Amino acid sequence: MSIKIVNCFVLISCCFLVAAWAGNFYQDFQITWGDGRAKILENGQLLTLSLDKPSGSGFQSKNEYLFGKIDMQLKLVPGNSAGTVTAYYLSSKGATWDEIDYEFLGNLSGQPYILHTNVFTQGKGNREQQFYLWFDPTKDFHTYSVLWNPQSIIFSVDGTPIRVFKNLESKGVAFPKNQAMRIYSSLWNADDWATRGGLVKTDWSQAPFTASYRNFNAQACVWTSKGSSCSQNQAWYRQSLDSTGQARLRWVQKNYMIYNYCTDAKRFPQGFPPECSLA
Catalytic site positions: 99, 103
Alpha helices in the chain (DSSP H): 25-28, 235-238, 243-255, 274-278
Q: Are 30 and 47 spatial neighbours (Cβ–Cβ below 8 Å)?
A: no
Q: How many CA atoms lie within 13 A of 90 on its CB side?
A: 29
Q: Is 176 helix (H, G, I), strand (E, B) or coil?
A: coil
DSSP-derived letter for residue 35 is: T
Order of strands across the sheet with 29-33? 29-33, 57-61, 182-189, 84-91, 99-105, 114-120, 129-131, 257-260
* CA pseudo-torsion sign 51, 46, 22, 222: positive
Partnered with residue 115 across adjacent β-strands are: 104, 131
Give the separation between CA 181 and CA 248, rounded to whole angstroms. Answer: 28
